[in-house]
Amino acid sequence: MRIFKFGGASVKDADGIKNVYSVLEKVGHEDTLLVISAMGKTTNALEVVIKNYFDKSPELHSSLQEVKKYHNQILMDLFDDEDHEVFYAVNSHFADLEYFIRSNKSPNYNFVYDQVVSYGEIISTTIVSHYFNHTGLKNNWIDVRNFIKTDNNYRDATVDWDKTQGYISKGVKKKALNITQGFLGSDENNFTTTLGREGSDYTAAIFAYCLNAESVTIWKDVPGVMNADPRFFENATLLNQISYREAIELAFYGATVIHPKTLQPLQRKEIPLFVKSFINPLLPGTSVSKGADLEPHTPCFILKKNQLLISLSSIDFSFIMEENISEIFKLFHDYKIKVNLIQNTAISFSVCVEDKFGNFDELKTILSKKFKVSYNENMSLYTIRHFDEKAAKMVEKDKTVLLKQISRETLQLVTKE
């Protein structure tokens, strides 16, 4: 079985969905499982709904109506008959969402988040599945929450591999076209969980691992894995082949084409990963597979914006020792703050982090009881894999470098633009 993942950009409108159909016509669709994300920016729109819900904002109703209006327009563009069953199916999903918003009693933001944003994927796959059936491409729609089982760490759930393996092995139809949702799972009480933002790639890898898949293909609006994000760097070039190890390194440092968790399960079973263009599906794209000789020989640039550069120093000028660092990292873990770079001296400890859950202010209060805390907001973290002097100079030009770290293969810079 092949696993195909299509992200939000590929199904953002009716033309996008028709193009996915066209891709399948060109590359085949038998014995294939599609993992599909929410349409366009639906997850962002549902995050606004959640914010309005917790703020008790009068905008709650209108923000939800915007999401409904967006999907209804796609339905109108795809189906001539408004009595088609897809309209009832989508309206039923929205009714379930509205019921949850009315009846929920939980004050847990992360729990509510997962229950609400999941409707983006549920509705998008419902529309795609019905459209394919409508055009004669028969398929099997499956609810991923019945297959991927996780703990209840909402918004960043951990997969229970044993249970997941059992459900997927028994429940996925072979020799058929299956359609399911990315990003989602469910806990032991069958409440919806999510695997972290951009987790649909990971979903594809989970199914591939459990099904011993032939391959995984991530369909993007770029030709494949580039040596830099063309939005931020000029003259980005395609990497034709890279090793699992190199792809994991690039993902770890923040390359956005492949989700960091995606590669480990694929590497364990040596399942090849392809990153290809849904605009030009017959182009070869990038292949990721086993082999040290697949390392790129060109510098690879990664940019992460909206970083915090935090410096901690001891109040009494004592050394920052292992026990201090251990305590600091435990706090970062507890407050879900991702560490991207560390550097320490005898009496200070600097760290570049991502505060994606907005917990830094609370953490800062706790750290201030033991350390002097200084920080800079809105920093940029540049990482150059396989750097050379020319690449380093290009990145440093016209920037204030606050922290610089060099290893054999990698240069990292924290800068203020």
pLDDT at 295 over 80: no
Q: Are residues 22 and 147 in the same domain?
A: yes
- The domain that holds 31 is classified in CATH as 3.40.1160.10
Mean pLDDT of the chain: 94
Q: What is the predicted pLDDT for the residue at 323? A: 83
Q: What is the predicted pLDDT for the residue at 254? A: 82
- Name the CA radius of gyration of the chain, rounded: 23
Q: What is the predicted pLDDT for the residue at 347? A: 78
pLDDT at 259 over 80: no
- The domain that holds 364 is classified in CATH as 3.30.2130.10
Q: Are residues 195 and 311 in the same domain?
A: no
Q: Are residues 209 and 304 in the same domain?
A: no
Residue 257 within any structural domain of the chain: no
Q: How far apart (Å, rounded) are the C-alpha atoms in residues 348 and 135?
A: 64
pLDDT at 292 over 70: no
Residue 115 within any structural domain of the chain: yes
Q: Are residues 201 and 347 in the same domain?
A: no
Residue 144 within any structural domain of the chain: yes
The 10s digit of each residue's pLDDT in 98-144 is: 999 999 999 999 999 999 999 999 999 999 999 999 999 999 999 99
Q: End of a domain among 213, 236, 255?
A: 213
* Reported pTM: 0.86
Residue 261 within any structural domain of the chain: no
Domain span at residue 80 reads 2-213
Q: In what order do the strands lie in the sheet with 300-314?
A: 338-344, 348-354, 300-314, 371-385, 410-416, 400-406
In 3D space, the residue among 283, 297, 296 whose CA is nearest the CA of residue 243 turns out to be 296
Residue 284 within any structural domain of the chain: no
Strands (E), 52-143: 140-141
What is the domain count for the chain? 2
Q: What is the predicted pLDDT for the residue at 165? A: 98
pLDDT at 6 over 90: yes
Residue 290 within any structural domain of the chain: no
pLDDT at 388 over 70: yes
Q: End of a domain among 198, 213, 228?
A: 213
The 10s digit of each residue's pLDDT in 302-353 is: 999 999 999 998 887 777 778 888 999 999 999 999 999 999 887 788 999 9
DSSP letter, residue 319: -
pLDDT class of 41 with cuts at 50, 70, 90: very high
Residue 164 within any structural domain of the chain: yes
Q: How far apart (Å, rounded) are the C-alpha atoms in residues 11 and 334?
A: 36
Q: End of a domain among 195, 213, 231?
A: 213
Q: What is the predicted pLDDT for the residue at 229? A: 87
Q: How far is CA 379 from the centre of its chain?
A: 22
Q: Are residues 115 and 16 in the same domain?
A: yes
Residue 253 within any structural domain of the chain: no
Q: Rounded to the nearest 10 degrees, what angle do helices 42-54 and 60-78 cross at?
A: 160
Backbone angles phi, psi at 409, to 5 degrees: -110, -15
Q: Residue 207 half-sphere exposure, CB side, CA atoms within 13 Å?
A: 38
